[in-house]
Structure 1
Amino acid sequence: QVLKVESVGIHDNFFELGGHSLLATQLVSRIRDQFQIEIPLQTVFVETTIAELGKVIEQLQKQNLQLAAPEILPRGGNAELPLSYAQQRLWFIDQFEPNSASYNIPIALRLQGKLEFTALENSFREIINRHEALRTNFQAREGKAAQIIHQTTNWQISVINLQHSVTETNIQELIQQQLIQPFDLANESLFRATLIVLSETEHLLLICMHHIISDGWSMGVFVDELATLYNTYIQGKETTLKPLPIQYADFAIWQRNWLQGEILERQLNYWQKQLETAPKFLPLPTDRPRPAVQTFAGAYQEFALSEELSNKLIKLSQEQGVTLFMTLLAAYDVLLYRYTGQTDILVGSPIANRNQKEIEGLIGFFVNTLVFRSELSENLSFNELLTQIRTTALSAYAHQDLPFEMLVEALEIERNLSHSPLFQVMFALQNAPNSDVELTGLTVKDVPIEITTAKFDLTLSMSQTATGITGGWEYNTDLFDSSTIERMTGHFITLLTEIVEKPQTEIKELPILTTSEKQ
């Protein structure tokens, strides 16, 4: 069920079958549901087969322990609707920068074939009915922010007819225009869809949501439901989508009730101990002096690893008993260490934070940010760094419930307007379930959206695809030139190529110069 494979032997290794930490989290939540017991995520990394996990489950059942977190339940009729901690932070940011589009989450799809407009609009409306988050606004009530959920809306798709008058350049301009329109959190729908008619059989569908009601995983949920509903409308069938057990506001109430007292204390203590003495700034060499106030002007540059290198990285991860995320993060740390000379490095990373089965199918802002600290001494080998990162990551996952905004507050970091607090570089491995969109009678293609903002100095995002591992750098263009980022890609690939061949090499000895640079 979790690995989406036909059959699993009781001695098959979870990670060799394609498991990773996100799927391990889902496995833990399925075990919690099924057996009413709490297995720490670390256990899945140690006891990696059904046979081994079965023994652990048996022992825990005998102990009759309480679950770590109560179930999330639907709220009562007149409950006040607070914001979740993550929403609260975005709401505060919006009060200071009300016309910013930095937190817009867009997708663009090209639809070729005969489009049934009514079926499309009905599908959207049904999704809006299903998910309260898409009918929510945020207003100040008695000095506090509250979620205002509308029972009905008059939402509709905007249609722009551009038949016979559009070029590819116009299309990119149009996409940018639509996607950089700010949202008014208090008064308007935080979910927009625009259909651009290019011809009778060609359309562009632009979808944009504000991050306060959505995240990357939510976009996957949205696209899945859109495909299911559109296809059932076209085929004249009944929808197969199950009713949602809870809504996002139920999660926000649950989070505020649960995350307090001793539970909050435990999470805070862990992170304070982990990060208190770490340097809060990474001095990456930049092409220009850092502006006094951080700008968010950005660009994006993609690259791909060869199939051979990709396979070797996956194999190395399995041999070392780590996930691909851990291997790539370790390599990124080495790159940052070689660029800065700093041996104590903090890297931020998004985590889906959907630990309960009941929130896996919800649209909403659940994603949290974890901070990974790596201590790299010169004579450390890559293997040793990998072991350190595995330990760090597993304990970070065990303390992933503390909202990032609370952590920043608790650490009392001196704010510096020229850079983000705590860390300035990010790493993400995209493995949230994002399926390809299949709409009856249509060929659907993703349209790449040009990225013009950067939330951090440098973010490395990687993905595992059918043909290998791909990556992309989101970088601040006031700090870096595109040629610098191109060089960085060359260094990173050289580093990875050496790591898979000789993981026992000391990190200071690992080569990063490309062949042409050596010449």
Structure 2
Amino acid sequence: MTSAERRAALIEKLAGLPPERRAALLRSLVGAPRDPGGQEWPLSPGQERLWFLSRFDPGDTSYNTPWCMRLRGPLDVDALTAAFTRIVERHEVLRTRFRLRGDAPVQVVLPPGPVPLEKIALSGEADLDRELKEFVERPFDLENEPPLRAGLAEPGTDDAVVCIVLHHIVMDGWSLDVLLRELTECYAAGREGREPELPELPTQYPRFAVQERQRDHTQGLEHWTRRLAGAPTLDLPADHPRPDRWSGRGGREPLLLPPEEITPLEKVARKRRCTSFMALVAAYQATLSLASGQTDFCVGVPVAGRPRSELAPLIGYFGNTMVLRADLSGDPSFHELLDRVREATLAGMRHADVPFEHVLAALRVPRDISRPPLCQAMFNLHNLPKDDLLGTRMADLDREVYTVPPSHTKSEVSMDLWRGPEGLGGVFDYSSDLFAPATARRLLGGFAEVVRRAGADPDVPLSALSGTFASVPEVKGA
């Protein structure tokens, strides 16, 4: 084994160790750094795993989460800078550093201070995507630098692109909506010379982390170990040899199914007392089964992790992963598969608060540094608040989302969907180390065909779809 392979193996092993074993191992590492002069708190279970991954692979940018927006009109840079400063002052997690104290990491909340708006220099419009990508993919030094940075590119007069990058250790999908809502209000208030109208925060993320570490998840862990014991790895046929180490390099393909293609499946779900989420998960599981030939594998589903209303206005890493084990044994009809998905989803939701990190530790899944643990496939149907995230105005400026082409994925395949008046939209992320773009488009085509066939005839056995699946065209997306 080469030195690089040994280092990669160490990263994965450390990330999967139970807390007490990690603590023992860390006693032999370097001592605590200088006194930061801030208040110290423990990390939440989810934060702790991300901290280990970051600590032992500082150059990894898989968990950098960007959001970019294009602003058209006369931008007030001072007001925008002040808005970022006000938000970081409000949310302790955004002025946190992550450091080692004795045997364990802690989050150190520093006093408020100004937040710089970095200038992203351009030599022309063609430069924009490249410069934004470099800004997004710059690694975070979580020990000494803020977990948030904001950059400003100005391709032309009254034309600006603001790029916000946060490390996943301090945010989730819900947090982005909170951030954009507060940024819009603080910027407008600065332009109008008034105080921003923001609700008082009932608590702060570090207090939530303390409460999370005190919770007893014994019953939930018993459920997950019973349900997930012995779950096999999902092995989709790949176009390229699997690298020795998972890199996270990825690609993306878009999807759009018009209303007439998704509505019949939604009606099937309602008649079966199922949600649209359950029906789409079942269609995704069927697609993966037909592509892989497997009837048993796991699909990870993000959950919001905000069970109390007091957590709704906070920025922080509350999200969790719920694991749904697919059961396609016995060549079920789509109706039968839907019933199985419904049962697994309802049972899982009763224990969805158990941290994914605890589930991994309890299962003692053998570590394989060439792939993500337990869930090689992810699925998400978005129902998070996003009105502020997708708003079209920011004070006197026109605003639109500016998409930076993704270059990383956290799983081998991942489907993110949303339902709107235009139909079912979404994106399909995939590991570019394993799959070619054409293969990703065929998988999307297979998913679309399953959705159509299941909506038209939910009693058809899944084996009847195999021939059709093999010949479906590539989906070109929206």
TM over 0.5: yes
Q: CA deviation at 1:453?
A: 1.3
Select the residue among 261, 265, 274 that pairs with 2:227: 274
CA RMSD of aligned residues (A): 1.7
Q: Cα deviation per residue 1:89-142 (whole Å; 9 max; x = unaligned)? A: 011111210121111000111100121222211211111111001110001112
Q: CA deviation at 1:404?
A: 0.6
Correspondence 1:417 to 2:345? no
Question: Which residue is 1:222 aligned to?
Answer: 179
Preserved contact between residue 464 and residue 470 of structure 1 (Cα < 8 Å): yes
Q: Cα deviation per residue 1:376-396 (whole Å; 9 max; x = unaligned)? A: 123411111111111111111
Q: 1:487 to 1:160 in 2, by over 3 A?
A: closer
Q: CA deviation at 1:371?
A: 0.6
Letter in 1 for 2:58: P
Question: Which residue is 2:398 aligned to?
Answer: 443
The separation in 1 between residues aligned to 2:347 and 2:399, in whole angstroms, is 41
Letter in 2 for 1:201: D
Question: Which residue is 2:18 aligned to?
Answer: none
Correspondence 1:460 to 2:403? no
Query: Structure 2 stretches of 5 or more lacking a match?
Result: 1-37
Matches within 5 A, 1:228-239: 228-239=185-196
The separation in 2 between residues aligned to 1:470 and 1:180, in whole angstroms, is 27
Q: Cα deviation per residue 1:384-433 (whole Å; 9 max; x = unaligned)? A: 11111111111111101111111111111111222222121111112211
Matches within 5 A, 1:328-347: 328-347=280-299
The separation in 1 between residues aligned to 2:106 and 2:470, in whole angstroms, is 53
Select the residue among 179, 195, 214 that pairs with 2:136: 179
Question: Which residue is 2:160 aligned to?
Answer: 203
Question: Which residue is 2:85 aligned to?
Answer: 125
The separation in 2 between residues aligned to 1:408 and 1:161, in whole angstroms, is 43
The separation in 2 between residues aligned to 1:306 and 1:216, in whole angstroms, is 25
The separation in 2 between residues aligned to 1:113 and 1:313, in whole angstroms, is 44
The separation in 1 between residues aligned to 2:472 and 2:49, in whole angstroms, is 46
| Paired residue secondary structure (1:489) | helix
Q: CA deviation at 1:499?
A: 0.8
Matches within 5 A, 1:226-265: 226-257=183-214, 259-260=215-216, 264-265=217-218
Question: Which residue is 2:353 aligned to?
Answer: 401
Judge which range, 398-407 or 315-324, deviates more.
315-324
The separation in 2 between residues aligned to 1:294 and 1:214, in whole angstroms, is 23
| Paired residue secondary structure (2:225) | helix
| Paired residue secondary structure (2:428) | strand
Select the residue among 369, 372, 377 that pairs with 2:321: 369
Q: 1:292 to 1:161 in 2, by over 3 A?
A: closer
Question: Which residue is 1:135 aligned to?
Answer: 95
The separation in 1 between residues aligned to 2:39 and 2:133, in whole angstroms, is 39
The separation in 2 between residues aligned to 1:337 and 1:461, in whole angstroms, is 18
Question: Which residue is 2:59 aligned to?
Answer: 99
Letter in 1 for 2:362: A
Question: Which residue is 1:323 aligned to?
Answer: 275
Question: Which residue is 2:7 aligned to?
Answer: none
Question: Which residue is 1:500 aligned to?
Answer: 455
Q: CA deviation at 1:513?
A: 4.5
Question: Which residue is 1:383 aligned to?
Answer: 335
Q: CA deviation at 1:502?
A: 0.8
Preserved contact between residue 378 and residue 508 of structure 1 (Cα < 8 Å): no
The separation in 2 between residues aligned to 1:466 and 1:227, in whole angstroms, is 26
Q: CA deviation at 1:225?
A: 1.1
Preserved contact between residue 334 and residue 460 of structure 2 (Cα < 8 Å): yes
Letter in 2 for 1:236: G
Q: CA deviation at 1:516?
A: 6.0
Q: Cα deviation per residue 1:221-250 (whole Å; 9 max; x = unaligned)? A: 101111122223323343221110000001
The separation in 1 between residues aligned to 2:409 and 2:195, in whole angstroms, is 43
Preserved contact between residue 445 and residue 473 of structure 2 (Cα < 8 Å): no
| Paired residue secondary structure (1:291) | coil
Correspondence 1:166 to 2:124? yes
Query: Structure 1 stretches of 5 or more lacking a match?
Result: 1-77
Q: Cα deviation per residue 1:470-494 (whole Å; 9 max; x = unaligned)? A: 1221111111111111111222111
The separation in 1 between residues aligned to 2:348 and 2:131, in whole angstroms, is 42
Preserved contact between residue 382 and residue 499 of structure 1 (Cα < 8 Å): yes
The separation in 2 between residues aligned to 1:466 and 1:253, in whole angstroms, is 42
Q: CA deviation at 1:79?
A: 8.1
Preserved contact between residue 494 and residue 513 of structure 1 (Cα < 8 Å): no
Preserved contact between residue 442 and residue 472 of structure 2 (Cα < 8 Å): no
Preserved contact between residue 459 and residue 473 of structure 1 (Cα < 8 Å): yes
Select the residue among 249, 273, 293 that pairs with 1:297: 249
**Given the two structures, how large is their TM-score scaled by the length of structure 1?**
0.80
| Paired residue secondary structure (2:394) | coil
| Paired residue secondary structure (1:138) | strand
Preserved contact between residue 228 and residue 325 of structure 2 (Cα < 8 Å): yes
Q: How many residues align?
A: 432
Q: CA deviation at 1:154?
A: 3.1
The separation in 1 between residues aligned to 2:102 and 2:240, in whole angstroms, is 46
Correspondence 1:479 to 2:431? no
Preserved contact between residue 111 and residue 202 of structure 1 (Cα < 8 Å): yes
Preserved contact between residue 382 and residue 417 of structure 2 (Cα < 8 Å): yes
Preserved contact between residue 490 and residue 513 of structure 1 (Cα < 8 Å): no
Q: 1:486 to 1:210 in 2, by over 3 A?
A: same
The separation in 2 between residues aligned to 1:335 and 1:199, in whole angstroms, is 45
| Paired residue secondary structure (2:97) | strand
The separation in 2 between residues aligned to 1:90 and 1:337, in whole angstroms, is 30
**Given the two structures, how large is their TM-score scaled by the length of structure 2?**
0.87
Question: Which residue is 2:384 aligned to?
Answer: 432
Preserved contact between residue 190 and residue 210 of structure 1 (Cα < 8 Å): yes
The separation in 1 between residues aligned to 2:222 and 2:472, in whole angstroms, is 47
Q: CA deviation at 1:514?
A: 4.7
The separation in 2 between residues aligned to 1:428 and 1:396, in whole angstroms, is 15
Question: Which residue is 2:443 aligned to?
Answer: 488
